[in-house]
């Protein structure tokens, strides 16, 4: 059931699109940092135990971002030379590009997190407000939830192994990769099987039947949504310009 004072789902989609678009337009590291902070604040308010999940996401993403930044700093050339040791040279452009890439990826991840809390009925409301097909809202909703479902299944399999006395941390690197490969394949197969079951259930419920679809709970795009979008857009523009 829709809360009386809740924003329209389309508002949340537009806000996430605004942040994820602006982060690829802006080039200044300071502006990108402000956009990343804004995206993290927005995602934290959208999720239950938001700040805990935001910090957990940052912690899990940090190794990948560091490796990505390392390759950018070491192999990219351009700008003024900041430090050199033998064949290893670090330039100002390489550092700037690595910071831009890390902040952009973090912003996109936080925007995806803020949209991942939405269920299919909310996506349906959002796209029906702009006269988009029902199938599109379902595909987008299902695609956004695929990765969290895959990771949840993988985590469940890893927990099952630990309960059986098999801890991957105590295995060699080769055996650990073999275990994770098998778990990933199993999780993917389970995800495909569940997708097929969901598709059959949708067909049985008349998802693609002809005629106009009706909804029990309806929510219209109101002046509150317009005002919120204007204020949020103003904050984004102000932050990027002031920095």
The pLDDT value recorded for residue 214 is 62
User: 96 falls in which pLDDT band (50, 70, 90)?
Assistant: confident
Question: Could you tell me if residue 239 is left (phi over 0), alpha (psi between -120 and 50 degrees) or otherwise beta?
Answer: alpha
- In whole angstroms, give the CA distance from residue 106 to residue 37: 10
CB atoms within 10 A of CB 236: 22
The pLDDT value recorded for residue 37 is 92
The pLDDT value recorded for residue 202 is 64
Give Rg (Cα) of the chain.
22
Tens of pLDDT, residues 50-95 = 888 888 888 878 888 888 887 777 777 766 666 666 666 777 777 8
What is this structure's pTM? 0.71
Going by the DSSP 8-state scheme, the letter that residue 152 receives in this structure is H
If residue 85 lies in a helix (H) or strand (E), which one and from where to where?
strand 81-85
The residue with greater pLDDT, 100 or 80, is: 100
The closest alpha carbon to 36, from 49, 53, 24, belongs to 24
Q: Chain centroid to CA 169: how far? A: 28
Backbone phi, psi, residue 9, to 5°: -55, -30
CA angle 125–7–143, rounded 5-degree value: 45
- In whole angstroms, give the CA distance from residue 197 to residue 191: 10
Tens of pLDDT, residues 47-61 = 888 888 888 888 878
The residue with greater pLDDT, 52 or 3, is: 52
């Amino acid at each position: 059931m829709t809360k009386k004072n809740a924003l329209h789902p389309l508002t949340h989609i537009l806000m996430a699109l605004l942040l994820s678009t602006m982060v690829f337009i802006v080039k200044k590291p300071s502006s990108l940092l402000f956009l990343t902070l804004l995206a993290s604040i927005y995602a934290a308010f959208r999720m239950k135990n938001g700040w805990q999940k935001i910090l957990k996401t940052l912690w899990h993403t940090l190794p990948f971002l560091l490796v990505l930044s390392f390759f950018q700093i070491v192999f990219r050339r351009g700008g003024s030379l900041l430090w050199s040791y033998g064949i290893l040279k670090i330039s100002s452009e390489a550092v700037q590009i690595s910071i831009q890439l890390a902040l952009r990826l973090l912003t996109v991840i936080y925007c995806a997190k803020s949209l991942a809390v939405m269920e299919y009925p909310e996506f349906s409301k959002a796209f029906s407000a702009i006269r988009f097909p029902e199938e599109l809202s379902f595909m987008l909703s299902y695609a956004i939830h695929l990765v969290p479902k895959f990771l949840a299944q993988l985590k469940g399999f890893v927990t099952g192994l630990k309960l059986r006395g098999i801890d991957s941390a105590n295995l060699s690197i080769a055996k650990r990769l073999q275990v994770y490969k098998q778990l990933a394949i199993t999780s993917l197969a389970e995800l495909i099987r569940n997708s097929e079951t969901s598709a059959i259930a949708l067909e049985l419920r008349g998802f693609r039947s002809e005629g106009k679809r009706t909804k029990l709970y309806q929510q219209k795009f109101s002046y509150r949504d317009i005002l919120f979008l204007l204020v949020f857009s103003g904050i984004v523009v102000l932050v990027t310009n002031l920095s």
